[in-house]
Every structure is written in C-alpha cells, then in structure tokens.
Amino acid sequence: MSDDSAWQRPGPGGELGPESAPPAVPPVGYSGPPPSDPPPADWRPPTYVQPPPPRQLAPQDVDKIEAQEKEARTLTYGVALVAAAVLVVLSCLLCSRVLF
C-alpha cells in the first residue's frame, strides 16, 4: 500500500481497490495492560556511602520566642497607626483644598 493510496479516487464502479481497503477495526473493550516482566533482583546499584545520622535540633526558648513575637506585633501596630495618621492628615488636607 503506497502512502498516497488513501487519497486516490475509487474505481469506475465506485468500489475501492484492494490497496485502499479500510484498515481492520480494532477489537472493542479494554484487554488490560501488556504483560511485563519483573526487574531482576540486583537491578539497583550498590550503595557504598551511608549518610550520617541526623543531628539534634537546638533547644528552643519558648518564653524568649513569645517575647520577640510580642515586640514584633507592637512594632507592627505602631507602624500601622503612624501610617493611618498620615493618611488621615493627607485626606483632611485634600478635602479642605476641595471645599475651600
């Protein structure tokens, strides 16, 4: 069967030639995955270096962590209050400029 046989015109009677016959229909349904062979027992490379055991984590001072979080929260609230005050002052200036 040539590459162009699918694009050829049918014969004079409208029948297809033996070269351009449609391909066979595959069976309906799923027949499952193809069979596979298990890998050989020694398929992994040998391991020569053993990693060291994990180290101990440093002890944590929970009271110190809580104090630092409280200081950070206070600083964050302070910065937010200053920013809000600046925005209020600016909006008052802009509104007074529009009104007067």
The verdict on residue 11 lying in a domain is no
pLDDT computed for residue 76 by the predictor: 98
**Residue 58 corresponds to which tokens in the numbers above?**
């440093």
pTM for the predicted model, two decimal places: 0.42
What domain count does the chain have?
1
Query: Quick one: pLDDT at residue 2?
Result: 57
End-to-end C-alpha distance for the chain, whole angstroms: 92
Domain assignment of residue 98, yes or no: yes
Q: How far apart are CA 87 and CA 79, in angstroms?
A: 12
Q: What is the separation of C-alpha 64 from the centre of its chain, rounded to a whole number of angstroms?
A: 38
> What domain range includes position 72?
62-100
pLDDT of 1 reads 52
Q: Is residue 38 situated within a structural domain?
A: no
Mean pLDDT, contiguous 10-residue spans, the chain (100 residues): 68 60 70 86 82 93 96 98 97 85
Cβ atoms of residues 1 and 17 within 8 Å: no
Joined tokens for residue 30: 């799923």
